[in-house]
Chains A and B, each alone.
Chain A
Amino acid sequence: MGGILCPIRGGPGSRGALAAGITLAKENQETLHFLYIVNLDFLNLTERGRTQVISDEMRGMGEFILLRAQAMAEKDGVEAQWTVRQGNVTEEIMAMAKEIQASHIILGKPKHEEQNVFTMERMQTFVQHLEEQTGAKVVLAEPGGAE
């Protein structure tokens, strides 16, 4: 197995996943792989099209967020690597997990206000799908507090 995959977006919502990833990586003596996925679907809400420049901007922001996460992990003595990819979130998580042969995938749970039955049901289905497709164990981390 090649390590622990921790897809994050940054912000308070990712703090739980980040902490869980660091703890698990320490316990298992595995490398932590942070993943940021550039997704430009928000442009669908405007009349603006997608351009390479926008992708590059988002990639730059993703790299910065992951560098910050890497610095936090290394501060705790955990070896961490990071990758920025672009595309469909689910597909990219699965592809990355297969590539690094991840033992675990850490996902942040939805925040309390989002934890309705529908969301949790979808989350469970998503977790099951990920585990079947990648062979990795999915860990749901509690969301972090305010930053």
Chain B
Amino acid sequence: MKIGRGALILILIIAVWLTFTLAAGVSAEPAGQQMGVSLIGNVIDAQNQPVFEAQVQLLQENEVIAEGLTQGDGSYRLTLPAQVGDNLVLRVERQHFETTTIDIAADDFAQLAPDEAVTLPTIELQRKITIAFWVATLVFLGMLLLIALEKLHNVLAALTGVSLVLGISYLGKPLIEDLFIFDFTRALQYVDWNVIFLIMGMMIVIAVVEGTGLFHWLAFFAYRVSRGKAWLLMAILMVITAVASAFLDNVTTMLLMTPITVQIALALGLNPLTLLIPEVLASNVGGIITLIGTPTNILIGSYADIPFSGFLSNLSPGVFISLIGLFIYCLIAYRKDLFHATSGVSPVLLEKLEENARITEPANLAKVGWVGLGMLGLFLVGEHFHLIPAVTAILGATALLIWIRPDVEEMIEAVDWTTLVFFMALFIVVGGIQEVGLISFLAQWVASLVGENLPLAMIIVIWVSALFSTIVANIPFTAAMLPVVGYLTNTVPGATSLALFFCLSVGSAMGGNGSLIGASANMVTAGIAERAGYPISYAYFLRKGMPALFITVALSMVWLLLRF
């Protein structure tokens, strides 16, 4: 039986997921046996975050008499032997942390019955900078650099990072113990499978939508409604791309919109960039309003447990205001082209345009519409019965596959495995810098800057993420920022409303408008435009995009400050 490449990768992903789940299950077993009095407690780091898999040992005269590992919540439980003497020491060890010991007075539990427990004070472990810290940091920065300088395909850059982090951990440890960053099981625990399965499910749905001709029809509809008025055409196309980007990913939206937009612009005698740049800017802004609109929102939603309705209700007013600001800016920036457009479409070109703008699979489009509505409903109400978005996406994708009955092999092949592999590799590389403590140091530094001032924290998060996203790929940047923002959410008063995560969402996505490399959607738009003879240089995008960044981020920031 022939098994396709996609199917093999799917099987591999599920196998790895099961391995991870089983491994997590094993490590979650409480250590020690229920023999006598127990010592219980918690181990945290300097950011008040639980420390997982720290080894906790109780020593008597330097001999280990009880030991165990901390759980995911940082808790531990040691069961002591029936007879315990004096001079007890509790030792807590964990890779990348300083070993901590505390003296225990045996009198504290001498009078207790065997099934009773003593709760010890919470132990705070201090980070230790080892050579592994620098290795993981350099690997992460190297990956960002390779992506930013376009020296390697994103996936290859991320896989190189994974290979280095794991290779050095395994091969370097026998030579220098401090080179160890983490093992494979621990690395897999950093992969957010909710994100992977949500993206995969949505890709299947998108693969069906892609083939229906919906975007061509929408673009041609915009052309007809605008009746040759270029400014109106631009406005309608901006709305279409913004809304489409909220429900599909930005890259797919622009991959489908750009070719037909080029054709419409040429037919109207317009420079295609007059329509393409506003479209891609609107795409980067519009995607923010839903959980599934941008990869960064998927990352943020999964990490901070923000539901679909959370993004919609907290971000859509700000995005709406930003889009209005963006439209006015684009009208001014392209006024010469928009208000002096030549018209006159040759019958041959118009015929071709209409031919390209047909809904090619109306029956499938109707089915996608019904399933899409069902998915939207589940995304919105699912939070009330703990239905995670990844499950909704998989349910929708499966329903669509069963209803439409396409060639399953083709559909599996349509799933963009490069993106999924990129995300998995990225999670591991970012996990490396989390493991060695870089993120903790960063979080502490940011926390010392903002103190207890929520508005200041919001402004810093939104602008730092926006400006960083113009120079580094926003997906790895957001993945690295999540624990930092998570820490600030716990420490800054009032931030438990998740305001800082919404700031990260706005900053990282709208920041993509600041430069050509700021968002993948920009690069695919530039790639297609270049192949139509209209190259978009880095400087050109910077000139048009940077003002758009400042306008849209500022407007959204005002909204968020008012909202929270």
Contact = CB atoms under 8 A, between A and B. Distances in A.
B418 A48 contact: yes
A91 interface: no
B472 interface: no
Given A48-B255, A48-B524, A64 B418 contact: no
A29 B186 CA distance: 72
Given A67-B352, A147-B271, A45 B263 contact: no
Contacts of B155: 47
A88 B128 CA distance: 52
Nearest to B415: A49
Contact of B533 (A10, A39, A67): A10
Interface in B531-564: 531-535
A53 B210 contact: yes
Contacts of B534: 10-12
B417 A68 contact: no
A61 B256 contact: no
A46 B251 contact: yes
A63 B523 CA distance: 22
Given A53-B211, A60-B259, A71-B349, A65 B422 contact: no
B402 interface: no
Given A49-B416, A64-B353, A42 B524 contact: yes
B352 A10 contact: no
A68 B416 contact: no
B414 A46 contact: no
B154 interface: yes
B163 interface: no
Contact of B349 (A49, A53, A68): A68
B492 interface: no
B528 interface: yes
B263 A49 contact: no
Interface residues of A, number: 33
A71 to B, nearest CB: 5
Most chain A beta-carbon contacts within 10 A, residue among B356, B523, B528, B532: B532
Contacts of A62: 531
Interface residues of B, number: 43
A58 interface: yes
B532 A9 contact: yes
B528 A42 contact: yes
B346 A71 contact: yes
A97 B211 CA distance: 33
B177 interface: no
Contact of A60 (B356, B414, B520): B356
Nearest to A61: B259
B249 to A, nearest CB: 9
Interface string B222-265: 00000000000000000000000000000110011011101100
Interface string B506-521: 0000000000000010
A134 interface: no
Contacts of B382: none
A62 B262 CA distance: 10
Given A45-B150, A45-B527, A58 B259 contact: yes
A64 to B, nearest CB: 4
A95 interface: no
A71 B418 CA distance: 40
Given A43-B524, A43-B527, A71-B349, A49 B533 contact: no
Main secondary structure of the interface of B (DSSP, over half): helix
Nearest to A36: B531
Most chain B beta-carbon contacts within 10 A, residue among A10, A46, A49, A57: A46
Nearest to A38: B531
A12 B534 CA distance: 7
A5 B520 CA distance: 35
Contacts of A51: 207, 210, 414, 416
A43 B155 CA distance: 11
A42 B417 CA distance: 17
A67 B352 CA distance: 8
A125 interface: no
Contacts of A48: 251-252, 255, 416, 418-419, 520, 524
A57 B418 contact: no
Interface string A60-85: 11111101100100000000000000
B532 A10 contact: yes
A120 interface: no
B359 to A, nearest CB: 15
Contacts of B416: 47-49, 51
Most chain B beta-carbon contacts within 10 A, residue among A41, A43, A47: A47
Most chain B beta-carbon contacts within 10 A, residue among A11, A42, A65, A67: A11
Contacts of B418: 47-49
A47 B533 contact: no
B524 A14 contact: no
A116 interface: no
Interface string A1-29: 00000001111111000000000000000
B352 A63 contact: yes
A72 B526 CA distance: 26
B531 A46 contact: no
B533 A13 contact: yes
B240 to A, nearest CB: 16
A98 B498 CA distance: 64
Contacts of B349: 64, 67-68, 71
A14 B211 CA distance: 31
B251 to A, nearest CB: 5
Given A47-B419, A57-B256, A42 B150 contact: no
B419 A61 contact: no
A58 B258 CA distance: 9
26 contacts: A8-B533, A10-B534, A11-B532, A11-B533, A43-B524, A45-B153, A45-B154, A45-B523, A47-B475, A48-B416, A48-B418, A48-B524, A49-B418, A51-B416, A53-B210, A53-B414, A57-B256, A57-B259, A58-B259, A58-B528, A61-B260, A64-B263, A64-B349, A67-B349, A68-B349, A71-B348
Interface of B: 150, 153-155, 207, 210-211, 251-252, 255-256, 258-260, 262-263, 266, 271, 346, 348-349, 352-353, 356, 414, 416-419, 422, 475, 520, 523-524, 526-528, 530-535
Closest 4 CB pairs of A and B: A11-B533, A42-B527, A10-B533, A61-B259
Given A11-B535, A61-B532, 7 more contacts: A39-B531, A42-B531, A46-B523, A49-B418, A53-B414, A61-B531, A71-B349
